[in-house]
Structure 1
């Protein structure tokens, strides 16, 4: 409100020649802006191709076309990062172990067949033989090796598998089950896409081929040694001849929470978009009242930091509670501490992603921030679909990408995979520190440039 002691003439004079940083400037300038907004000059509305707006039309078309060109370039450049992660993937094979607890015919046959060059193709598992004496605890100790992510999968030939088959063939045991000879061990929750599209299809195809070829050799061997016994077996227990060995799958950490897809993949995009919304809300709230011009540089930096951190603190809690409302179990790995850890994880994730946007908003301005947001989403998303081990070398940056670390920590909390939460938090905190340093520096730089252009 304009003080009664200030006349219209003095008001106009004060608005045209303000004293920089003075109290009078603060009291006078804002009412003038408000008065100008309340009394806009009338505009005659015309058709788009009216000659009266030729210059305006040219400027509009030029800006729109340049924007489309920029977006076209962004599509070809940014989208190529995501397309490249899937193009010809995988470029390398995942690692797998073969452990022969049998130490007899079946064990040696399976081990040599899996590790032979004739069965290895791109997109399949790269199997290596590991001595059985490294796992005296048998299958469970081997499963722990996969749970700790030392390898992606393991094929275990059980102890006594060959002896059980021989005994079943001699006694014509109708209760013999060839699937007890071999176990395929893997962890789906580590990366469900890798498990469903790479590990399981590759391992099952290889083991099925091995089982069929072994059955042929075993039938020939039995027919040559004892034809009468083969005839009797085909009558009483034909599967001993037709399917002497098979396998079972042991999924040690199944991806059994479907809604977790939102927390480990798609939801990360939503989290980043929410972070960007806060950046926009903060920007427009200051812009509408020209708050940036009234605050000192220190106050402006403090305001941006406090409002952003406070907003992310609250919204990350809402995000965590929303997941809890859909019955996501956070107690598998850390008990009742799982929920607050998940909350703090998303808070750190929003800070890591959002503070980077807040920092660059000053430098890139609102015009170019959507382009960076697109780039930021794609670069993060590209390294969370498939394991980085099967992607081109370019995507090794993913180990320090916020989405990658958010996804891995969430999998640990929800499914009980390997505990890398400390490392994941460390990466996110580094991103936060970088943004906390860059935001003030960029703000100071832009403020100095702005002040230098003022008369």
Structure 2
């Protein structure tokens, strides 16, 4: 085509230009016979169907199938949501009726030798406990214990709190009444009401239990106890108020009249630092999630051995062994990375607290009171490692059995059941949740608290449960691998077939 012709075409309308082009169905001005007539080619509309509207008659069967599957899927998901999420909601259902499972010792040492003064502080407080129990209102498991059970030694009561025999203890000191009499009789200005009683607890054991359920009940109880003792003591003192010497002494020691007594609080193992909250609670959810998603990342790597592309396929039993070994080694490094996060945010893993006694309060200035000295981080890492094996191999096996998208539902179930029994105290949960003691995350949380906060250790039991989970899942691992291969060979549909 000449340059002049190109210029003319440039200024013509598109319709005129198109009319000048030869018809695609003509050759040299003659119509081209369509290949359909010869049976060599399908019509364009048949090989590439044109899109139609949603209500087109040809889509009726597809619409019916899709609608039926949508109804079935939605109904199933609704049932799943109700069933599984009810496990999480139910753990705290009617919890106020089970608060008595949280025991609080009340031990009256008042009047114990060598103090032979007739006691009234201890009996007044124990009387208040009896009134509280007989009131019929939901309350804690107040348990009045004799001083003789602890060899008349208040430190043994503290030891009972540390050893998880009770959640807290109220101790009426041996000299509670004697010090009151002495203060008024001698005008002892150094008298401290807080020396009369003790409240012993350790919120690092379960800070949720302590601050949400126990302290809101114990705090008013102590206030009421102060009021009852104060009224009775004021009445007794006023009977002798006519004595000028007594009045002089009262003026010198007003705290001996009001408030008369108080409660010294001893938090044996405080929950500190607060960056430890993720390490023993929400952060552990991600340990499950990491274990779950590692399956999707590593499976394509292992499947290369079965694709005969420029190499023979690997024997399937050896593939199983290779895959299991690689998964365990992956958990070693993934759990190490997870453990490094707590170290990076300055949770103490190396400095031993100056207070090592189990009956004394640790000093938070030195950070959390670790349990294993310089080996604490190693123990913490190993706990997370075996925890990842327990949590992760279960995910691996279920992924091979149920496939997608059902694996997502298992992840929800796995997270809900573990969180419900690990982040909330099973003691105050309905009896249905007793299986939670055997669930992996419960042992990880308990072990982590013991390692990081120097609590009473059940680390052997915790590791034992995690190892048992790993052993059982390892035993099922080959079975699940063969089942997955069988599904692939039989082309088993794990979800709605696209028919």
What TM-score do the two structures reach when normalised by structure 1?
0.82
Please give the alpha-carbon distance, in whole angstroms, between the structure 2 residues aligned to 1:302 and 1:59.
43
CA separation of 1:154 and 1:352: change in aligned 2, threshold 3 A: same
Please give the alpha-carbon distance, in whole angstroms, between the structure 1 residues aligned to 2:347 and 2:48.
57
Aligned ranges 1:187-206 → 2 under 5 Å: 187-206=202-221
Q: Deviations over 1:90-146 (max 9, x none)?
A: 44211121222222222232233324433674242322313246245x443322221
Could you say what secondary structure the match of 1:382 adopts? helix
From 265, 284, 301, the equivalent of 2:281 is 265
Aligned ranges 1:276-287 → 2 under 5 Å: 276-285=292-301
Shift of 1:340: 0.8
2:14 corresponds to which residue?
none
Shift of 1:66: 3.7
Please give the alpha-carbon distance, in whole angstroms, between the structure 1 residues aligned to 2:75 and 2:299.
26
From 412, 415, 418, the equivalent of 1:377 is 415
CA separation of 1:158 and 1:328: change in aligned 2, threshold 3 A: same
Could you say what secondary structure the match of 2:326 adopts? helix
From 317, 320, 324, the equivalent of 1:298 is 317
Supply the RMSD in Å over aligned alpha carbons: 2.9
Aligned partners of 1:85 and 1:391 also within 8 Å? yes
Please give the alpha-carbon distance, in whole angstroms, between the structure 2 residues aligned to 1:399 and 1:75.
24
Please give the alpha-carbon distance, in whole angstroms, between the structure 1 residues aligned to 2:436 and 2:345.
29
Shift of 1:377: 0.7
From 179, 199, 212, the equivalent of 2:194 is 179
What TM-score do the two structures reach when normalised by structure 2?
0.75
Q: Deviations over 1:389-417 (max 9, x none)?
A: 11111111111111110001001110000
Aligned partners of 1:111 and 1:129 also within 8 Å? no
Aligned partners of 1:123 and 1:202 also within 8 Å? yes
2:104 corresponds to which residue?
96
The structure number with the bigger radius of gyration is: 2
Aligned partners of 2:189 and 2:252 also within 8 Å? yes
Aligned partners of 1:156 and 1:182 also within 8 Å? yes
Could you say what secondary structure the match of 1:154 adopts? strand
1:329 corresponds to which residue?
348
Please give the alpha-carbon distance, in whole angstroms, between the structure 2 residues aligned to 1:441 and 1:406.
27
Aligned partners of 2:306 and 2:314 also within 8 Å? no
Of Structure 1 and Structure 2, the greater helix share is in 1
1:392 corresponds to which residue?
430
Could you say what secondary structure the match of 1:418 adopts? coil
From 229, 233, 236, the equivalent of 1:218 is 233
CA separation of 1:219 and 1:43: change in aligned 2, threshold 3 A: farther
Shift of 1:376: 0.8
From 333, 358, 361, the equivalent of 1:314 is 333
From 82, 87, 99, the equivalent of 1:81 is 87
Please give the alpha-carbon distance, in whole angstroms, between the structure 1 residues aligned to 2:48 and 2:193.
86
Residues paired across the two proteins, number: 412
From 355, 363, 384, the equivalent of 2:401 is 363
CA separation of 1:44 and 1:267: change in aligned 2, threshold 3 A: farther
From 54, 65, 85, the equivalent of 1:49 is 54
Aligned partners of 1:158 and 1:180 also within 8 Å? yes
